[in-house]
Structure 1
């Protein structure tokens, strides 16, 4: 996978930030601001459960784009520009497992599956507790995504896993910049 560096040309490259159902999603504005500082035109897509945690009107004002959560009607125009890169953060166990299985029952999953087929660089940053992280299906899904060229940032060396029910205590320490750093790395190395 090649590095994606926003150009200083007239058209900014477009970054889709996909958020899943996690308390961490409520802080995704930090990632949006960091990406904008780096020159990205940011669009936000939330899974249906992710939408429960975000302030969609505030994020729409911040990005200049509507926050999308569902597929559009066939006759409706696309309201977001095409993505040059994607960051899935926070990625939940549910989304990771469905994505690796090719399930496209949400707009977020449909965009991810299609983006892989188009060769769009994708960085996934799962956020889950240490009990869910041990499930064999989740571990296999992470491995599969890595094999397919997705840069997966996960594990205690990225962000320490927490005990069930304690994740909200650690949200303020989440390393949002790592996802953007992975996009600008020379080969988007998988971890």
Structure 2
């Protein structure tokens, strides 16, 4: 099952709210070749909060989910992409993390970490309630 489709399950009861808010259907699966895209072209994309697993897959060019596939393609089509992590110090210490961040920045992704984004939290002490959404949203280009 696609990661995004899995996430869509978490939102299942609120998908209608999200569709009403955006004015578009929520897409959680790849479209078939030849099918028209139900969504307009993105003017910017925010990938947040991104896990170390998704970060490393994206940085390595592994686009095996709809979510990673879309941003992988869009960043190389000139769409501004901002990413902000949410993982702990132990996950962030994995050597692939630094390589992945460098690979994404090389492609033009604005990766928000440290004082300008999100500082990894201690293991087993994450608090999603304090995720700095204001920093992530402020980094998006103004339309």
For normalisation by structure 2, the TM-score amounts to 0.83
- 2:118 aligned residue: 159
Asked if 1:51 corresponds to 2:8, the answer is yes
- 2:40 aligned residue: 81
Q: CA deviation at 1:52?
A: 4.2
- 1:93 aligned residue: 52
Q: CA deviation at 1:157?
A: 5.2
Alignment of 1:90-169 (within 5 A): 90-155=49-114, 158-167=117-126
CA RMSD of aligned residues (A): 2.0
Classify the secondary structure of the residue corresponding to 1:184. Answer: coil
Classify the secondary structure of the residue corresponding to 2:79. Answer: coil
Q: Structure 1: give runs of 5+ residues left out of the alignment.
A: 1-45, 186-191
Q: CA deviation at 1:51?
A: 2.7
Structure that is richer in strand per residue: 1
1:105-144 alpha-carbon deviations (Å, 9 max, x no partner)? 1111111111122111100011111110111001210111
Classify the secondary structure of the residue corresponding to 2:89. Answer: coil
Contact 2:52 2:97 in 1 (8 A): yes
Structure that is richer in helix per residue: 2
Q: Structure 2: give runs of 5+ residues left out of the alignment.
A: none
Q: Distance in 1 between the 2:63 and 2:118 partners?
A: 28
Q: Distance in 1 between the 2:10 and 2:89 partners?
A: 21
Asked if 1:65 corresponds to 2:24, the answer is yes
Aligned residues: 138
